[in-house]
Structure 1
């Protein structure tokens, strides 16, 4: 039997294994009392695909446990993803399988496996980028948030009522975080702890100052609006310094992006112009080893440059 025929047989066996996995091992399990009897007014018949997918998510949740696995709830929340850990893990697993399968069809099995394995790491990188953007947006909205808090306090509202009003009038992610603080205090969590956790979650030293000002005012009293005015002035000066730092480090960031994009661009260009020249890296074992080593060096170099151009103060 020739190699193409073996490859087709392998694909058929893989799909057969998936069918057995979905319809025999992961078939939906029903509780002792059907949903239509427990909630007759709200029950709607789900399709077979929905039942199978829900069963798969439930089993994945049992495997991950309370920790949530690599895509835990805190990571997804900070990135602004509304899915649960089990749902998101199943989604990433399906995407990784499809990416690996397409990579195998378009290139070679080795490259396809590498693409499938790299997919969860790429998703984790995307979540990290979304988290940084969400935190940056929270920082940019902080001055307006303080002004709304000051307005509420001077109108005679309490601190929590001012936070609630600011949450209703703000945009995401500030609205989400302030609403979470108010809801957590309503169910019994200490306000100081809720504010500290929000500052930690957003990585915001400026918001930590606001929480400390609120806590000091609760303990010793005083004009909280006046204190927040001074805090707003300090944050405004820090924002100006951050803007100067970003402008000075923009050249280094652009250089890092260009250096990271050049190897990928050259490889794609050579693959189009002279496919035989790049086939050595795909067909030969030595070429596969060189590609793997290059990917490792690429990741290390990219991480190194990202640390160099990232300035903390």
Structure 2
């Protein structure tokens, strides 16, 4: 009887142990599957329920293999747009084709390739504009980020926990970018690497100063509260200075964009006043060279005026 009771108890305990092991294996497998699905969904290889289905997957895979595709992927990631490199390339080609046909229809056949090149510039300028806008938003959030990190560090939290807490409290884009940093730290990456990638995605002097302060404090093991307090005040002052400079130079920036618009508008006005004038002008090699030189001078003027209006604060 005693042997039967012992066998029953032993069998029950063995079943319990095997059940716990099975539950642990199932939960860890489910977590790994969820992480894999999340990673594949970010690259566009699969689509999660409730998320936008990725288009042009085969083109996206080919684009990602190239060196330009890798740079394009990093640039798109810095803009925060929900786009893959393949989707961006397809949309850019469609824009180039549309502008090409519009240029031929409204101006002359010679202006079709020029308008197509303009489409490539517009697409890349759109990415740069989105990236710069995101960087500006992030810079405006840096004083609050520095204040949160200082308070968390003063409360005794480690830098990793302070970054995770800041990711939860701040809005986009700072919250999203810090979430990426926290995820990288969670999988074993060092603070230097995670913050270094953040500085590459959103390059700015203010962020470089903050990253350098955090990295040096983490390496040296010294107190970071005082440095972050001083940095918060400095970032607030720089924020106000940047706003004043941008307001003062807004008229110069508008002049830079109005110069090429006036040039293109004058061509449309000439063709409207005298139909067929652009076809006659671009029908000879001298006229084609003159048009190319004129567009090049407009581009040079645009770049020079933009240089004058660009002041590093």
Give the TM-score range, shorter chain. Answer: 0.7 to 0.9
Question: Aligned residue for 2:77?
Answer: 77
CA distance in 2, matches of 1:226, 1:209: 15
For normalisation by structure 2, the TM-score amounts to 0.72
- CA positional deviation for 1:273: 4.0
CA distance in 1, matches of 2:297, 2:90: 30
Question: Aligned residue for 2:99?
Answer: 99
Query: What is the correspondence of 1:1-313 to structure 2 with a 5 Å cutoff?
Result: 54=56, 57-59=57-59, 61-62=61-62, 65-69=65-69, 72-313=72-313
Structure of greater Rg = 2
Q: Is the partner of 2:189 in helix, strand or coil?
A: coil
CA distance in 2, matches of 1:62, 1:303: 34
Q: Is the partner of 1:136 in helix, strand or coil?
A: helix
- CA positional deviation for 1:75: 1.3
Structure 1 range deviating more: 66-75 or 124-133: 66-75
Structure 2 gaps, min length 5: 1-46
Q: Is the partner of 1:129 in helix, strand or coil?
A: helix
After superposition, the Cα gap between the structure-2 partners of 1:305 and 1:166, relative to the gap in structure 1 and judged at 3 Å, is: same
- CA positional deviation for 1:256: 2.7
CA distance in 2, matches of 1:183, 1:43: 20
- CA positional deviation for 1:283: 4.7
Structure 1 range deviating more: 127-136 or 142-151: 142-151
1:167-212 residue CA offsets vs partner (Å, 9 max, x unmatched): 2222222112111111112222210122123223322222222222
CA distance in 1, matches of 2:87, 2:249: 38
Structure 1 gaps, min length 5: 1-41, 45-49
1:210-237 residue CA offsets vs partner (Å, 9 max, x unmatched): 2222223323444423321111112222
User: Is the 1:71–1:88 Cα contact (8 Å) retained in structure 2?
Assistant: no
Q: CA RMSD in A?
A: 3.0
After superposition, the Cα gap between the structure-2 partners of 1:287 and 1:215, relative to the gap in structure 1 and judged at 3 Å, is: same
User: Is the 2:259–2:298 Cα contact (8 Å) retained in structure 1?
Assistant: no
User: Is the 2:101–2:112 Cα contact (8 Å) retained in structure 1?
Assistant: yes
Count of equivalent residues: 264
User: Is the 1:145–1:166 Cα contact (8 Å) retained in structure 2?
Assistant: yes
CA distance in 2, matches of 1:240, 1:116: 40
CA distance in 1, matches of 2:70, 2:122: 13
